[in-house]
Structure 1
Amino acid sequence: MVSYYRAGADFKKAKIVVMGVPDESRSHASRRGTETAPDTIRAASNDSEFFVRDGVVIPTVPMRGTLDGKKVHDAGNVQRDGVYEKAREIVKAGKIPITMGGDHSITADLLKAAGNGKKVSLLYFDAHPDFVSSVRDYYGSVLTDSARYVNYKKSMLVGTRAAEPEEIRNARKAGLAMVTPIDITELGVHKVASMIRRKVAGSRVYISIDLDCVDPAFAPGVSVPSPGGVTIADLLYLLTSTISRCDVAGLDIVELTPDYDTNGMTANLAARILTECMACLKT
């Protein structure tokens, strides 16, 4: 699958490099199919984020930020064991990696590359904390596996609502802040956005988006759906208001399960999230 991003700029000229990881080998989910997600997101992006008229490719205008002058290159798909090296190549070239999973375990390798030897702040949009420590090297132990690369005290879990007791204990011990969907409703999305910006202020920030952070009413095509999630508008506001004001080290979007999607609505959401995030990146 070739995306319109690939036609946008070659690797050397690009400031943003997109890659896919068609792999779910470290997932324990009963709902399978995230290995097909990268090309599904590309297809959704081509269909919903671009128009073609008279042979001219026309991107849709994002709600925030701009795509004007944004040089984006799609580097294609990468094998699971090559994620760290490819991400490291992108980071060392001074570009921002945007990765489409696959299962969430890829984030541990991406965080290792993104910091380039230094710890980064992490904004982890997920229904689950993925902070299991009794089992390692799978999609539920991402934060444990990434301990050497993340400054937990400058990081935040957003949209959390389906945590194991072990994960809550680990998050508290690490000093990792957590915002649930009920918190967003109670405090208001503007206050939560301010909380996020204060938390990551002065640091390089990596953003990881598990699509199950969104309520399954709006995003049914995910590996482990959990009721009571974040609304689409709130998610996009939190992402764009943060990205436009901070130094982003990288971004990923994971856990799309196309076989469980409804009329492509989750794939189209993933494509829209990427558009809005790219538009707000400082390049």
Structure 2
Amino acid sequence: GASKGPDSLRTASNYYEFFERDGKIIPICPMSGTLENKKILDFGNVTRDDLYRLVFDIVSAKKIPIIIGGDHSITTIILQAVYDACDSKISLLYFDAHPDFVSSTRNYYGSVITDSSDYIKFTKSVLVGTRAAESEELENASKQKLEIITPLDILEVGLNSIVKKIISKCKESKSRVYLSIDLDCMDPGVAPGVSVPAPGGLLPLDLIYMIKKITENLPIVGMDIVELSPDYDLNQNTANHASRILMEMISSLIIK
């Protein structure tokens, strides 16, 4: 399942983000932004038991953790660590086909938002790409005034307008922003390698555009990419998209 995701993404990065010519390895440049002067350290595969301390230490050192999952339930551990390190609630931008706001069942990938409630500034957070929600989840989101943006909303209003709205909302909060990307936010026709696919999703380039604008304009405290499940993937399509998303998000990240 998703436990194989990190290694699958590493493999895709090695094969598809470089050209080999005349015995030389030449990295592909991002579409915008830069990877220069951005030191990236891979801590390897980390257990859930060690994840909290690692994220806490990274954020406390004023660095930005980027976590590759794994299923989406790891985000609760990460948000707790970020909250404790920053001593303040977080604006959460949560790209997912599902709200993950189940409250009748706890401590799994469908209850991430419920389990993370103590760490989230709900009125300055947004769920993006949502299209497979239970009524219970919609009720919970409404109670907390948590905004949901569906793919239909993006189609109706326009991609650029939606991004500007998200950025404006987060800037108003003056909070640190955490960016969480469940790969099932994309349409399974182009990204089938996820645990719980849902038709009618985002296209990869639209997702990359939104993520790049967000990382260019907001104080990002941490990011994750989760739910890559290579057993369900086709020709490594999802892993390749995930690899490109990762490179583009890092290239646009503003390091202060």
What TM-score comes out, normalization by structure 2 length? Answer: 0.96
Unaligned runs of 5+ in 1: 1-32
Distance 1:64 1:150 in 2: 30
Equivalent residue number for residue 205 of structure 2:
233
* Structure-1 separation of matches of 2:118 and 2:23: 49
Moved more, 47-56 or 238-247: 47-56
Name the counterpart of 1:7.
none
Tell me, yes or no, if structure 1 residue 278 matches structure 2 residue 246: no
Structure 2: runs of 5+ lacking an equivalent: none
Number of aligned residue pairs: 251
1:257 aligns with 2:225: no
Asked if 1:208 corresponds to 2:152, the answer is no
For residues 54 and 113 of structure 1, do their structure 2 counterparts lie closer, same or farther at Cα, with a shift above 3 Å needed? farther
Could you tell me the TM-score, scaled by structure 1's length? 0.87
Which one of the candidate residues 113, 121, 124 is aligned to 2:94?
Answer: 124
1:96 matched to 2:68: no
The whole-number CA distance in structure 2 between the counterparts of 1:198 and 1:120 is 15
**Deviations, residues 25-67 of structure 1 (Å, cap 9, x unaligned):** xxxxxxxx11111011001011111234455443211112111
Match for residue 64 of structure 1 among 17, 32, 40? 32
For 1:259 and 1:221, the matched residues in 2 are separated by 7
In the other structure, the counterpart of 1:147 is 117
1:22 alignment counterpart: none
> Which structure features the higher share of helix residues?
2
Q: 2:127 aligns with which of 153, 157, 160?
A: 157
Instruction: Give, in whole Å, the separation in 1 of the partners of 2:253 and 2:104.
Output: 36
Q: Deviations over 1:130-155 (max 9, x none)?
A: 00111111101100111111101110
Report sequence identity in percent.
55
Relative to its length, the structure with more strand (as a share) is 1
Letter in 2 for 1:215: D
Letter in structure 2 aligned against 1:109: I
